[in-house]
């Protein structure tokens, strides 16, 4: 499907979803709990976290730690869930996105892992395993992030495109010492949810393709990545419509 046809299909699905609104508070809570587990599991799994989706659900909803799993992996789940709470509150309060939103999402996710660096841009060079792409020097991050964020705040492109470009900006800059991928996916979903689109996950089965497209985007060719995200948004809408139909 061409990018233009994808966007048409996405907007047609959005219209179908909007016909179900307003949703009851009970249904919103159920759907958000479903998304919280789904996005937390998938986003962590892409980065190598070994907790299963069921184990992620138990840890989030029951507060039970999983035997044999590291403290780091546990903190990644709890931190991501905390970041989802911030995301939901941000959307409910109709806050305006900014560069600070990115820092706050990272802080929520990373504070249990490394409080000193949570929400703060890195002060050292880093290298991304599996690619020859070298992120910007840390001394340039403040300027480059502001320069990158500015056009996104005023863009009139379709929201799925803007959301994907927030992702590519964070992935390209790699502004934090760690947790950049998860922060990028959280920020992308904050934009989507804020404008009436469902939470969109990158299934771990697509990990290799996702990383390859991120690498291409880092090198200046983001067309494949933008199309990939639109395809995932369309799939998320299909799943969301199924849930809404079942709730009738």
Instruction: Identify the active-site residue in 80, 167, 174, 195.
Output: 174
Q: Within 10 Å of residue 85's Cβ, how many Cβ atoms?
A: 12
| Tens digits of residue pLDDT in 83-114 | 999 999 999 999 999 999 999 999 999 999 99
Q: Give catalytic status of residue 174 as yes or no.
A: yes
Confidence class for position 1, pLDDT limits 50, 70, 90:
confident
Q: How far apart are CA 174 and CA 180, in angstroms?
A: 6
**For the packed helices 141-154 and 99-110, what is the interaxial angle rounded to 10 degrees?**
120
pTM (global) more than 0.85? yes
Instruction: Name the residue ranges covered by the structural domains of the chain.
Output: 3-115+144-247
Fold of 3-115+144-247: Fic-like fold (1.10.3290)
How high is the pLDDT of residue 25? Answer: 95
63: left (phi over 0), alpha (psi -120 to 50) or beta: left
């Amino acid at each position: 499907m061409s990018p233009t046809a994808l966007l048409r299909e996405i907007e047609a699905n959005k219209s179908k979803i909007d016909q179900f609104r307003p949703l009851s508070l009970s249904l919103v809570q159920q759907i958000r709990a479903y998304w919280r587990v789904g996005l937390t599991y998938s986003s962590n799994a892409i980065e190598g976290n070994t907790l299963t989706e069921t184990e992620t659900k138990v840890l989030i909803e029951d507060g039970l730690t999983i035997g044999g799993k590291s403290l780091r992996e546990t903190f990644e789940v709890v931190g991501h869930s905390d970041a989802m709470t911030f995301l939901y509150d941000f959307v409910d309060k109709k806050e305006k996105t900014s560069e600070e939103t990115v820092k706050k999402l990272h802080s929520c996710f990373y504070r249990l892992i490394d409080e000193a660096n949570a929400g703060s841009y890195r002060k050292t060079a880093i290298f991304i395993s599996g690619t020859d792409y070298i992120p910007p020097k840390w001394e340039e991050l403040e300027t480059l992030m502001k320069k990158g964020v500015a056009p996104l705040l005023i863009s009139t492109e379709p929201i799925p495109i803007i959301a994907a470009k927030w992702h590519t900006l964070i992935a390209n800059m790699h502004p934090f010492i760690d947790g950049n991928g998860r922060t990028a996916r959280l920020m992308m979903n904050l934009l989507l949810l804020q404008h009436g689109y469902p939470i969109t996950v990158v299934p771990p089965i697509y990990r290799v393709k996702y990383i390859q497209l991120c690498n291409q985007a880092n090198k200046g060719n983001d067309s494949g990545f933008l199309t990939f995200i639109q395809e995932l948004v369309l799939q998320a809408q299909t799943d969301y419509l199924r849930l809404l139909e079942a709730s009738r």
